[in-house]
Amino acid sequence: MEDKSLKEEKKYAADIDSITKAHARIKPYVHKTPVLSSETLNSIAGKSLFFKCECFQKGGAFKFRGASNTVFSLEDEQAAKGVATHSSGNHAAALALAAKMRGIPAYIVIPKNAPKCKVENVRRYGGQIIWCEPTMQSREETANKVLNETGAVLVHPYNDPRTISGQGTLSLEFLDQVPQLDTLIVPISGGGLISGITIGAKSMNPGIRVIAAEPKGADDAAQSKASGQIITLAQTNTIADGLRASLGSLTWPIVRDLVDDIITVEDKEIVDAMKLCYEILKVAIEPSGAIGLAAVLSDSFKQNPAFKDSRNIGIVLSGGNVDLGVLWESLHLHG
């Protein structure tokens, strides 16, 4: 019996051991981000909310954890040829920054419709930008061309054990800062963040509940979980530009087996949550980062009897890289 459970433990792309090692590896480079709380938001939600502010992470988002874990775990010979990725945003900047810190090149394939502020971040950190069309096919084909020409190591934004383990370090920090958490609400897109957090948090506290938050206009994870198989959407329609990816082969089994539920919210709810973060917490969050608060304030959370005993809720504010012009327009559009 015992042997079987050990085998079960090994079936996922990350485990508590890989996350603990990642934590030690990246500690000199990442920020231990603060946790904020607000009595006003607690009274609005009727719960005790704790906000993990990854918007204050290097590069402005949690992605630096996974990128730095991958970059600093490469052998010198591999690293010398550089790293490459295709990303519309925070992962691109995170990888460029981690590569810069290690003194190696970063080749970043970016779709032409990527948010301007995220492209600027890549430039700021010295990443070499290669443009592509805004389709997954174009992203992958362009990235493969870059890999063939440079010999660089591909660092996937989420479907990579090193990335997942790096993102999982967030849960070790969060539960150390707020040990009484009984529920975590985490944005979901490709699933790297929630996979790492779920493995880390449930290893430390098996009874903790982990809920994914997803935009209704990009609800492939919710559909996948409901049908028991990966579903990809032909197109997505959401203001949350960081939450448009589909689950990967490594993240899906963790989401399928270990994530307790997925709550979907409308874009208007996301914008309202951004406003609350700005007005009450005094924190500027990108739409993808505000979705956890939107989920906790949604009817589907409040009216679900399964969540009645969720009292101390950890919400991951995953990033703060927002185009202020776009934010301004969306506030007027949805306000």
Active site residues: 63, 88
Q: How far apart are CA 261 and CA 249, in angstroms?
A: 19
In this structure, the number of other CB atoms found within 10 A of the CB of residue 235 comes to 8
Q: How far apart are CA 227 and CA 231, in angstroms?
A: 8
- 231, two tokens: 């579903």
- DSSP class of residue 12? S
Q: b or e along 90-121 (b: 16 or more beta carbons within 10 Å of the residue's beta carbon)?
A: bbbbbbbbbbbbbebbbbbbbbeebbebbbeb
Sorted by sequence, the CB contacts under 8 Å of residue 167 that are 6+ apart come out as: 62, 63, 65, 66, 192, 193, 195, 196, 197
Sequence-ordered strand ranges (E) for 136-203: 153-154, 183-187
In this structure, the number of other CB atoms found within 10 A of the CB of residue 135 comes to 11
Q: What are phi and psi of 190, to 5 degrees?
A: -75, -20
- 6, two tokens: 């050990």
